[in-house]
Amino acid sequence: MTGDVSERSYEPLALADLRMIAAVAMQNLAAIFDRAKVAGLYRDRLLLLALAQGSALHYVDGANGIKDFDVWAFFKAGPEKPFPHRKRWCADIGPSRFGRHPDDAGYSGRRLDLMGRSIEVARGESAEDAVRRWLASSARSAVALRQKPVFCLFPRSSFGKRIN
């Protein structure tokens, strides 16, 4: 564990790190459900949790570097209000070999950014296929997200699998 402060960490990501990232994200989702009324409507509707963007690219190439960990939560649509799609929740992964970003004062480790979307799921469609269909859509977030790898953190049966 280091207290290194740097724009990016070039430490390699392993499956054990993905498990830690998933645990931090799930813990934070539980807290979000308790304090955010609309998000709370989705407490039992989590389809898939995914590592995305630059940190997912670093998992593949080891060269991109990690500024922060971007985790996306996908929920089965249904409640009258969509999951708060413009909201980003931030969490501290805590001290680790990844150090911390210089702009993240008050954090002891790299920042984890947690975003979510409620998406339609067709009858009999798997969570992975529903997310793939959303990623192929013209939604601005989907267009940006599909430019880099996306790796499943939940459900456990798909853990570590690339979904795009």
pLDDT in tens, 66-109: 999 999 999 999 999 999 988 999 999 999 999 999 999 999 99
pTM of the shown model: 0.95
In a domain, 49, yes or no: yes
In degrees and rounded to multiples of 5, residue 149 shows phi and psi of -60, 155
CATH code assigned at 101: 3.30.460
Q: How would residue 3 be classed by pLDDT, with cut points 50, 70 and 90?
A: low
In a domain, 7, yes or no: no
Q: Which two tokens stand for residue 17?
A: 């790190």
H/E stretch holding 89 reads strand 89-92
Q: Residue 89, Cα to own-chain centre: how many angstroms?
A: 11
pLDDT at residue 2 is higher than 90: no
Q: What is the pLDDT of residue 50?
A: 98
In a domain, 144, yes or no: yes
Q: Which domain holds residue 92?
A: 15-158
Q: What does the alpha-carbon distance between residue 120 and residue 49 come to, in Å, rounded to a whole number?
A: 16
Q: How many domains does the chain have?
A: 1
Q: Is 123 exposed, middle or buried (0-12, 13-18, 19+ CB in 10 A)?
A: exposed
In a domain, 105, yes or no: yes
pLDDT in tens, 19-46: 999 999 999 999 999 999 999 999 999 9
In a domain, 8, yes or no: no
